[in-house]
Amino acid sequence: MTLEQIQKKLAEFYKGIAIELIEGVKHPVTQAQTGDSCLVVPADKIKDICKTLKTIEQFSFDCLSNLTAVDRKDRFEVVYHLFSYKHRHSLTLKAVLPRDDSAHIETVEGVWSCANWLEREVYDLFGIKFDNHSDLRRIMLPDDWIGHPLRKDYKEEEDYHGISTTRPPLLS
Amino acid sequence: MQKLADLLIQKIPALQPVPVDFVYLGVQVVFALVMLMAFVAPFAGIVSWVERRIAARMMDRVGPNRVGPQGFFQWIADGIKSILKEDIIPTAADPILFRLAPYLVFAGMFAAFVTIPFSSGLIIADLNVGIFYLIAVTSIVVVGILMAGWASNNKYSLLGGMRSAAQIVSYEIPAGLAILVVVFLTGSLSIQDIIKGQGAYPWQWYLFDNPFMPVAFLSLFISSLAEGNRTPFDIPEAESELVSGYSTEYSGMRFVFFYFEEWANLYLIAAVGTALFLGGWQIPPEVKTWASALGGVVGFTLPHALEFATFFLKSAVIVFIIIWIRWTLPRIRVDQLMSLCWKYLTPFGFAASLGVAVWMVVFPQGVMSVRYALCAGAATIVLYFFYRVAYQVWYSRQPIHVNPFV
Amino acid sequence: MELNTEEMLLNMGPQHPSTHGVIRFVVKTDGEVMSAAVPDIGYLHRSIEKIAEKATYNGFMPWTDRVDYLAAMNCNVAYAMAVEKIAGIEISRRAEYLRVIAMELNRIISHLLAVGSLGMDIGAYTPFVHALREREKANDLIEELCGQRLTYNYARIGGVIYDMTPNWDAKVLAFLEQFEPLLNEFDRLLTDAKILKKRLGGVGVVTAEEAINYNLVGPNLRGSGVKWDLRKDMPYSVYPELDFEVPVGTGEAGVLGDCFDRYNVRMKEMRESVKILRQCFERIPAGEYQVKVPKKIRPPAGDVYVRTESTRGDLGVYLVSDGSDKACRVKFRCGSFNAMSIVEKISRGMMVADLIAFIASLDIVAPEIDR
């Protein structure tokens, strides 16, 4: 199914919900489409939409290929890359969240089990909370780390347990 | 030993007022020390060098070849290095048991060497319960290993120690059953008697006596591998799982004691197999009469030397096979190991002993044609094996048709 | 009388001879049988993705090697493909072929190490050394191509950095000619060993639905019976022109989806790589190996998600560009990350020895997990 068909079919299921299709970026000279197109869905409906996408026969997105987030200075975007082994089509979903510490979105762990660790990584590095997640804690950084490194305004603490994070310049 | 002691009492008048038993005891202790220092210790060291060279050649490497000719003194260098190391004992380790464990392991292994014959006259103590004493005393090693695992205050060591205890104790049964089969044929538990019941030629060995003996030999071989903690049964010291099992916390000479026991145990396994199944030190009687007829000191020592050479050669072949198996096969898991012992080897051992008992009742003198047939079968297998080795060597040296150096 | 037994909390710590890299497992065991093995990752987190936001597109290439140092070529090429896709750069055919040759040689190298260390973890020390011996020969070949033995930094945005040295193809073909019979020897030594089949058969079974649900990729997925290979099913680069098969696990040592299947798939994949390499050398065209690209690449602002079949499965690179000469976000989606997430579920009720075999058969490389 092409992206427009997916958008139309989803709109049938979710009447009244704004599902935008954003075209991928075009090359400035050749005008060929070089970026990926995606669907932007509202953040509060993400779990329902994902469940629909997995269970409905024509979609059959049985694989969550990637779950990540992007910090766009004025907003967070949570990006889901879905893939279907059955029909061999892929889909990019985006959900936009306000860029502050209270950003939260429903977990899709119940739909695809691999979302468990991927969402923990997003929480660890961005600070986006996932509601109803079974085990939301930091995964890569130590549990007592302060801050979320992949944010654009992240500043490191002065030291961690007494180990300084800066080093005097080598050339003085 | 007794004859030698009597000879000494005759020759040295200073010993005559001493009670005879003390002289015997003194002679035995001296020979035990000589054997330990001149045979067991160098053997354990040399077999460590041999194992490293064989393992290296199997892995397409070279092995130690720097210290001395062909690296022969590597084990001496290792021994000296280990003695010079700092003696580290973990603070939370049990102070007495931690220190005692290597000595127990060593003592258990060495006490068994007392009954190993080197030739018809060279044996420190020809006990009339020889083989039974041997099995019993090697079980002290279990206590030592358990002590080492517990006293190290380390969960990995504890796991290793417990696995090893379960393994060694379980495999005593098939080993004992296989030895029982040989005792049936001999009628005596003394090792010299067992060897004297065999002859020099392969069809006179116990291995080819009746069709159940190869089964017993295989069972004894596998059980001895398991008792000696050798691959494929080396889970107690499985490097990739438990770092080093029960000997993780040991360093320096204490660590070396555990591996000393393992290498010296190789000879013990081989010696028991040789003595029980492969004819021990027996040389053809014509050769023996010719050697003794040479007269003088040579006539006295040459037969013993030839017998020792025969025994050692047969044991060396078995040691080589054990080393070879270690570097070829993966290791089996604990529950598979237990099921191998209890579900396969023990029933085979019982079947073998029943079979041999029935055979001895039906054919009291044995059947020579069966012996010749079994010998011929074994010879065919050995020849086929060497043929396969030659084929593989030829196959792996195929020429390459693309010349990269044009 | 009830015996009061406690469960032992064992720490297969960051330093361990057989966890592949610096990972930690907290294992609750009752004797030999585990009730849970919880992985604890993050010891190798070097924040490569944050560094991507500070380095230019060209300058980030050496960092991609370190994402998975055993399959460094695949990581290089995946990143280069992502940037080339969004910037609309087409590279020459010769560069494509050179990249594929390097990637397949890298696949052989990586699988040799995976298979060898699986053997070593099971206790067979000799096949490991034999595999490393072959790996040394292949490493020498790669060193002649790009100057490095482990972290290649070979691909560039717009092609590759060096062309083949004269006669390099003859050397690689000579290596392949003596490598295939050695694979047979390796098979006889390790794959056909009864003890190996008993250790790996029926252990760590991952069914096909679980594999897809947890997004296992690469040989892990194929070992569970799912016939999916990005090089055949969503081909990129010059793979549509190459003829090779995709081995799938068959459950011959026990259950479909056990450790032996994954191991067997890797052994067979090495043979397929040999086939691919031979075809590439026949078909490689003459031409230039690098296209002219601006010194500071400024792709249009957008995002792109590119997937390539790395040795550990599908390596996805999600690249977000905001129009400047530095990326806004680069995310590497690696196969080992998801393979680690399935360990906790499958390891319930296993033995400690089986856990080692399971982790080794998943071919986990720690830097891929933490980046």
With the C-alpha atoms ordered C61, C63, C64, C66, is the resulting torsion angle positive or negative? Answer: positive
The more confidently predicted of residues B108 and B5 is: B108
The proportion of chain B whose per-residue pLDDT surpasses 90, expressed as a percent, equals: 27
The proportion of chain A whose per-residue pLDDT surpasses 70, expressed as a percent, equals: 99
Neighbours, chain A (3 or more CB pairs < 8 A): C
Residues 6+ apart with CB under 8 A from C341: A113, A114, A116, A117, C214
The pLDDT value recorded for residue B241 is 60
Neighbours, chain C (3 or more CB pairs < 8 A): A, B
CATH number at residue A113: 3.30.460.80
**ipTM associated with this complex:** 0.89
CA-nearest residue to C123 within chain B is: B330
B–C touching, 3+ CB–CB pairs within 8 Å: yes
Contacts of A149 in chain C (CB under 8 A): 47, 50
Question: What's the mean per-residue pLDDT of chain A?
Answer: 86
Q: Is residue C10 part of a domain?
A: no
Question: How big is the CA angle at C164 (ends C160 and C170), to the nearest 5 degrees?
Answer: 145
pLDDT tier at B239, thresholds 50, 70, 90: low
**Is there a contact between C121 and B241 if contact means CB atoms under 8 Å apart?**
yes
State the nearest Cα–Cα gap between C276 and chain A, in angstroms: 25
Q: Any chain B CB within 8 A of the CB of C185?
A: yes
The count of domains in chain C is 1
Q: Is residue A172 part of a domain?
A: no
Q: Is residue C340 part of a domain?
A: yes
Q: Is residue A69 part of a domain?
A: yes
Q: What are phi and psi of C328, to 5 degrees?
A: -85, -40
What is the spatial distance between Cα C121 and Cα C352, in angstroms, rounded to a whole number?
12
Q: Which of A102, C318, C178, C278 has its CA nearest to residue B403?
A: C178
The pLDDT value recorded for residue C18 is 64
In the numeric block, which tokens belong to residue B182? 């040989």
Least confident window among A7-11, B82-86, C69-73, C171-175: A7-11
The pLDDT value recorded for residue B404 is 53
Q: What b-and-e string marks burial along C1-24, b requiring 16 or more CB atoms within 10 Å of the CB?
A: eeeeeeeeebebebebebbbbbbb
Amino acid at A76: F
Omega prior to B232 cis, within 30 of 0: yes
Check pLDDT > 70 for residue A172.
Answer: no
Q: Is residue C36 part of a domain?
A: no
- A87 near A60, Cβ under 8 Å? yes
Q: B28-52: per-residue pLDDT in tens?
A: 888 888 888 888 888 988 999 999 9
Question: How big is the CA angle at B296 (ends B294 and B298), to the nearest 5 degrees?
Answer: 65
- B117 near B126, Cβ under 8 Å? yes
Contacts of C78 in chain A (CB under 8 A): none
The residues pairing with A160 across neighbouring beta strands, listed in sequence order, are A163
The more confidently predicted of residues B18 and C113 is: C113
**Extents of the domains making up chain B:** 85-364
The pLDDT value recorded for residue B273 is 92
Check pLDDT > 80 for residue B406.
Answer: no
Least confident window among B83-92, B236-245, C256-265, C287-296: B236-245
The residues pairing with A106 across neighbouring beta strands, listed in sequence order, are A131
The pLDDT value recorded for residue B242 is 55
Q: Is residue A161 part of a domain?
A: no
In the numeric block, which tokens belong to residue B314? 């047969």
The pLDDT value recorded for residue B4 is 72
What is the spatial distance between Cα A146 and Cα C267, in angstroms, rounded to a whole number?
45
Q: Is residue C43 part of a domain?
A: no
pLDDT tier at B388, thresholds 50, 70, 90: very high
Q: Is residue A164 part of a domain?
A: no
The pLDDT value recorded for residue C278 is 92
A–B touching, 3+ CB–CB pairs within 8 Å: no
The pLDDT value recorded for residue C19 is 61
The more confidently predicted of residues B397 and B271 is: B271
Helix H or strand E encompassing A63: strand A63-71
Check pLDDT > 80 for residue B144.
Answer: yes
For residue C124, give its domain range. Answer: 55-345
For residue A71, give its domain range. Answer: 3-26+36-151
**Is there a contact between C340 and A117 if contact means CB atoms under 8 Å apart?**
yes
Residues within 8 A of B (CB atoms), C 91-120 only: 119-120
- Probe site for chain A from C23, C305, C314, C333 (most A CB atoms < 10 A): C305
- Probe site for chain C from A23, A27, A31 (most C CB atoms < 10 A): A27
**Is there a contact between C129 and B243 if contact means CB atoms under 8 Å apart?**
no
Tell me which residue in C86, C213, C316 faces A112 most closely, judged by beta carbons.
Answer: C213
CATH number at residue C128: 1.10.645.10
Residues B55-83 have a mean pLDDT of 89
- C124 near C196, Cβ under 8 Å? yes
Distances (CA, A) of B32 to B79, B110, C140: 22, 10, 56
With the C-alpha atoms ordered B326, B330, B331, B336, is the resulting torsion angle positive or negative? Answer: negative
pLDDT tier at B398, thresholds 50, 70, 90: low
The count of domains in chain A is 1
In the numeric block, which tokens belong to residue B74? 């590597």
Q: Is residue A53 part of a domain?
A: yes
**Is there a contact between C17 and B59 if contact means CB atoms under 8 Å apart?**
no
Check pLDDT > 70 for residue B1.
Answer: no
Tell me which residue in C10, C32, C195 faces B329 most closely, judged by beta carbons.
Answer: C195
What is the spatial distance between Cα B283 and Cα B304, in angstroms, rounded to a whole number?
10
In the numeric block, which tokens belong to residue B264? 């010296």
The pLDDT value recorded for residue C203 is 87
Contacts of C331 in chain A (CB under 8 A): 66, 68
pLDDT tier at B401, thresholds 50, 70, 90: low
The proportion of chain B whose per-residue pLDDT surpasses 70, expressed as a percent, equals: 95
Q: What do you get for the CA distance between the two ends of chain A, in Å? A: 62
**Is there a contact between C300 and A79 if contact means CB atoms under 8 Å apart?**
no
State the nearest Cα–Cα gap between A160 and chain C, in angstroms: 15
Question: What's the mean per-residue pLDDT of chain C?
Answer: 88
Question: What's the mean per-residue pLDDT of chain B?
Answer: 85
Q: What are phi and psi of C332, to 5 degrees?
A: -100, 120
CA-nearest residue to C125 within chain B is: B327
Q: Is residue C309 part of a domain?
A: yes
Residues C183-196 have a mean pLDDT of 86
Q: Is residue A7 part of a domain?
A: yes
